[in-house]
A and B are shown apart, each in its own frame.
Chain A
Amino acid sequence: MTGLHPLVSILLLQAGYNTIVVMLGAAALGAATGIVGVFAMLRRRALVADAVAHATLPGVALGFIAAVALGFSGRSLPFLMTGAAITAVLAALAIQWISNRTRLTEDTAIASVLATFFAFGIVLLTVIQTLKTGGQAGLDIYLLGATAGMLREEAITLAVFSLIVAAVVALLFKELTLISFDADYARAHGFPVKLLDLAVLGLVLVVVVIGLRVVGLVLIVALLISPPAAARFWTDHTGRMTLISAAIGAISAYFGAAISAISPDTPTGAVIVLVAFSILLISVFFGSARGIVTRAIGARHVRRAS
């Protein structure tokens, strides 16, 4: 390890065993968000995903309170994750109800639900600070994410859930592609579009909840959307786009976890999102299918040839 910059040695998996496991777990999460993000983007669910992510905050807080009340540690993960999932589902239902039953548009519904749930979560966090239980100091990591202090078991759980998410997308791949491209056609030919939409939302929910610990609820939408947005510049195939998006998500999360290993005070989520955004920026200009520079060069070739 001597001679190498600490970041390089960590990236090359020369850090301790626990760090390695955490980095690989984060990479698995990044791959899963990259895969699900393709359909969140193509089916135009990015804003709903963001609202659902923010709506996990009151759930995390309520999970903490419930755990303490029942005599468990406030940071017990099953409580926090269950709470997060419940309020996220409630938010999704609220958005659906408002846009179907009132004359408000969907984006208005999304914005108001996002802000309201998040505000409720902030209030609950403040209440928790006044409790005399201890352990509340760790709760803010769910806002911006942290891999520091993450256990091996948590990383393995991440990897297992990521694998399940990837398998579900693989099995439903052609149907999810179909409803993303032409929902009316799918409906006319008897495909259960509502159920498939629910599957997309369910997958978004799963990656958001399992990603809270690493990326944090404020920024996870960026890890959902930046990888597919970047991948779109490299290919015109949904299948290849999904693989590239998975790779970009994995690389971003891996880097984020590595940098967190050096400087534990840096919020992991912020670093992950910045890496993902850098890849998006490079893709916008140099992507082989539709990057700005690639196209300009292609156009010049066409002009010369003619």
Chain B
Amino acid sequence: MSIPPLAVRNLSVQYGGRVALDNFSWEAPERGLVAIVGPNGAGKSSLLKALLGLIPKASGSAEIFGAPVSERRDMLAYVPQRASVDWDFPATAADVVAMGLYRKIGWLKPVRSSDRTSARKYLNMVRLGEFADRQIGALSGGQQQRVFLARALAQQAKLFLLDEPFAGVDAVTEGVMTGVFRNLREAGSLVVCVHHDLSSVKEIFDHVVLLNRELIASGPVSTTFTPDNIARTYGVPLTLTGQ
């Protein structure tokens, strides 16, 4: 079991000549909750998008459980930023969660009632059972984020890649999501979150990747998430509240 769930090698990303990510290499731990932390424009989202092939890589590669990402798509679940979709779309919470089952259902086949039942099960896991039939635009921001998480759970993946799942969510959602992540860790999964809130890193995550266009430091939160490393990442000394 020495094959890491996620390994990134020498990954670089460029936007019209500007370097968004420079020669990033990182091997993820076998399981656990990882925060990717860094200032705005540090290349956090670009890292996820480039390794998934959503934006072009300038160089480098990524492997999931020892094989190229394109061969391991059924082992990963990606949760994009909530703001990246139009929530006015004609779909209910259960419809969106069922999208997590589409690969399993397969081409040319319709969504069956057994799939809808299982979508409800995943909505219950994020405590949105009673909102299954609500149009997604009528949900709060935190509830929408939980719908996205439930869709990822439906994929029964081993590796979860989430882009800012805690951005702008309420306390209930934060609690529910943290609980779900811990269950996933117990089940042996790896959860990687792009994260913006330094004050909650210690409380939620056990590994951290400090990033500012290049890798600054990575490792267990207890030894890596030090004021020194944070200062090197952000370029200025920061005081953390609650320390």
Contact = CB atoms under 8 A, between A and B. Distances in A.
A189 B78 contact: yes
Contacts, number: 73
Main secondary structure of the interface of B (DSSP, over half): mixed
Nearest to A235: B90
Interface stretch (A50-58, A72-80, A175-183, A258-266): A175-183
B95 A171 contact: no
B89 A42 contact: yes
Contacts of A191: 102
A236 B78 contact: no
Contact of A236 (B52, B74, B92, B102): B92
B107 A237 contact: no
Contacts of A194: none
B70 A185 contact: no
A238 interface: yes
Contact of A238 (B85, B90, B155): B90
User: For chain B, which range describes its interface: under 10, 10 to 19, 20 to 34, or 35 or more residues?
Assistant: 20 to 34
Interface of A: 42, 171-175, 177-178, 180-182, 184-185, 187-191, 232, 235-238, 241, 289
20 contacts: A174-B105, A175-B102, A175-B107, A178-B102, A181-B89, A181-B91, A182-B84, A184-B80, A185-B78, A185-B80, A187-B54, A188-B52, A188-B53, A188-B78, A189-B73, A190-B70, A190-B73, A191-B102, A236-B90, A237-B91
Given A188-B76, A232-B90, A238-B90, 20 more contacts: A42-B89, A171-B108, A172-B108, A174-B110, A178-B102, A181-B89, A182-B99, A184-B49, A187-B54, A188-B52, A188-B73, A189-B73, A189-B74, A189-B76, A189-B103, A190-B73, A191-B102, A236-B92, A237-B95, A238-B89
